[in-house]
Amino acid sequence: MKRLKVLTVALAILLVPALVQARVSGPCADCHTMHNSQGGADVVAGGPFKALTKGGCVQCHTGTNTGNSTTIYNSIPYVLDTTAPTYNFDGSKNTLAGGNFYWVQNGNDAAGHNVAGVANADASLSTPPGFVTTYGRSSWPSGQQVTCAGTYGCHGDPSKADDFAAISGAHHADDSVIDGSTVGKSFRFLLGIKGTEDSDWEYTVSSSDHNGYYAVDYQTTGTVDTASINYLCAECHGNFHSQSSVGSGSSPWLRHPTDFDMNSVSTKEYGNYPNPTLFTSVSTTGEYFPDVPVGNTAGAVKSTVLQAAGDAIVLCISCHRAHGSPYADLLRWDYSTCTASTQNAQCGCFACHTSK
Ligand code: HEC
Ligand code: HEC
Ligand code: HEC
Ligand code: HEC
Ligand code: HEC
């Protein structure tokens, strides 16, 4: 009887689904140093750092992703590598969903956001292309570089100027619910943005193992949704998103549409997304192609799309990687290989424009 009880308890524990929590864990000393001094010597070079951490945002998030969670800081998502990452479109990578800053740090200005502390200022750009003041940033000072977080950054609370002030507490926050209400409860600490966070930031990735991007179909709602992943980009590049400057809501467009549901044009070439006869990592029509992702109105992880209204929405990041890529305009693929009538599997445009 007693044995059975023990067994039942053991089974119950085994059957409880693993709590996937993105908040940090591990010894305080892995990540913090109280005085940055041990035996009179610095604990971390270049310190002390804010929030008593053993490195700023950049230092902590620099490394090579191995998928191995036994690194000193538990499992850190690395967004800057010191050696060239593996990056094959429609193939293997050791970069994460946002891409990597390696290429922009190593002299290719157009291959990434020139984030302060990561890369020098972009030689030709300072104000974000398409910047408008109506999307959450009131001005962009001349010469200002993008920062990781804060007023001129992507992560954290833009009402706080400093990176660490903007993100304060987020690493320790309970993020089991991503509703955008606080920095910690926002998709990847992007304040106000909703979605579903893949537990390894898409280190391992497939049609069923990926982030869930929240987006809306502007044609149906007629309003801009500040919780969509497209709004995040629009905060600095608003003119490329605002409907009046993109078009009248249907073809012919003025700028490439986003917040646009491909279900409404699925009788055209878009119904054959992701073009499985061309790309090797997908095998059927309607399969989610993580290298050319689409969003949905639930911000959910869907392995099959084009099944119901609102499940195949074009995103800024259908074409771009937020941090950087090996290619111009931080594109997911090399746009210079895109040639009409001779489709090739190195050009992601063909995932949606399946008959061009
Ligand atoms: C002491 C090291 C350290 C420092 C400093 C640090 N981070 Fe992190 N960061 C981590 C770790 C560890 C994780 C992974 C937490 C987890 O398990 O999901 C993480 C996760 C993240 C994530 C992903 C959150 C998610 O939802 O998965 C973002 C975004 C991030 N950090 C941004 C920043 C920014 C911006 C700064 C600077 C203001 C910063 N980090 C400073 C260690 C650090
Ligand atoms: C906090 C403001 C901010 C946000 C948010 C932002 N960007 Fe940018 N972006 C900039 C600035 C500033 C530049 C110009 C300087 C540079 O390249 O860093 C830029 C440049 C770019 C470029 C051109 C790169 C080049 O060097 O030619 C692309 C493409 C781009 N952003 C795409 C995006 C996408 C996609 C998103 C959303 C995932 C996004 N941006 C979010 C500020 C931002
Ligand atoms: C895996 C890395 C990691 C571990 C382990 C860790 N922290 Fe942190 N902690 C951070 C990072 C990164 C920040 C700064 C960014 C932020 O606030 O999200 C931070 C911020 C803080 C802050 C200021 C923000 C807040 O939440 O009030 C306190 C206090 C703090 N940590 C205490 C601790 C204590 C105490 C421990 C051990 C019980 C610990 N931390 C373990 C990474 C870690
Ligand atoms: C995630 C899917 C997707 C990807 C990737 C994509 N497009 Fe599109 N594109 C669309 C949709 C949907 C439309 C709107 C079609 C409509 O309204 O009939 C569109 C519209 C266009 C238009 C305007 C057509 C018109 O009728 O006004 C052009 C041109 C275009 N795309 C070119 C490209 C190029 C070049 C690339 C690669 C850099 C690309 N697209 C990548 C989905 C995509
Ligand atoms: C269909 C693919 C596609 C989508 C979707 C897309 N872009 Fe782009 N983007 C490109 C391409 C290709 C370029 C290269 C320049 C061009 O063709 O106009 C580019 C260039 C840019 C640039 C650089 C402009 C410059 O002056 O250097 C920015 C910034 C940018 N995109 C932001 C965005 C934002 C923000 C969104 C969403 C609102 C978005 N993009 C959606 C493909 C796309």
Confidence at residue 69, expressed as pLDDT on a 0 to 100 scale: 64
Q: How far apart are CA 189 and CA 50, in angstroms?
A: 18
Closest CA to 316 of 204, 200, 229, 254: 229
Contact 297, 227 (CB under 8 A): no
Per-residue model confidence (pLDDT) at position 248: 85
Query: Separation of 82 CA from ligand 2 center, angstroms?
Result: 22
> How far does the centroid of ligand 2 lie from the alpha carbon of residue 207, in Å?
27
Helix (H) or strand (E) holding 265: none
The answer on pLDDT for 350 being more than 70 is yes
Q: What is the pLDDT of residues 300-336, one digit of tens each?
A: 999 999 999 999 999 999 999 999 999 999 999 999 9
Q: What is the pLDDT of residue 72?
A: 55
pLDDT category at 23 given cuts 50, 70, 90 is confident
- Closest C-alpha to ligand 3, atom 26: 169
Ligand 5 touching residue 113 (CB < 6 A) = no
Give the distance, in angstroms, between the CA of residue 306 and the centroid of all CA atoms in the same chain: 22
Q: Tell me the C-alpha distance between 179 and 209, whole Å.
A: 21
Report the alpha-carbon distance of residue 305 to residue 236 in Å, rounded. 29
Nearest by Cα to 230 from 294, 302, 308: 294
Pocket test for ligand 3, best of 21, 25, 31 (most atoms within 8 A of CB): 31
Other Cβ atoms less than 10 A from the Cβ of 80: the count is: 23
**Percent of the chain's residues with pLDDT above 70:** 92
- For residue 352, the ligand closest to its alpha carbon is 4
Ligand 2 atom showing the smallest separation from residue 113 Cα: 18
Please, what is the average pLDDT of the chain? 91
Contact 258, 249 (CB under 8 A): no
Q: Which atom of ligand 5 is nearest to the CA of 234?
A: 35
Compute, in angstroms, the gap from residue 95 CA to the centroid of ligand 5. 21
Ligand 3 atom 3: residue of nearest CA: 31
**Dihedral, CA of residue 344, residue 346, residue 348 and residue 353, to nearest 10:** -10
Coil, strand, or helix at residue 246? Answer: helix
SS3 197: coil
Q: Residue 54: CB within 6 Å of ligand 1?
A: yes
Is residue 215 lining ligand 5, measured as CB closer than 6 Å?
Answer: no
Per domain, the residue ranges of the chain are 81-356
Q: What is the Cα–Cα distance from 257 to 315, expressed in whole angstroms?
A: 8
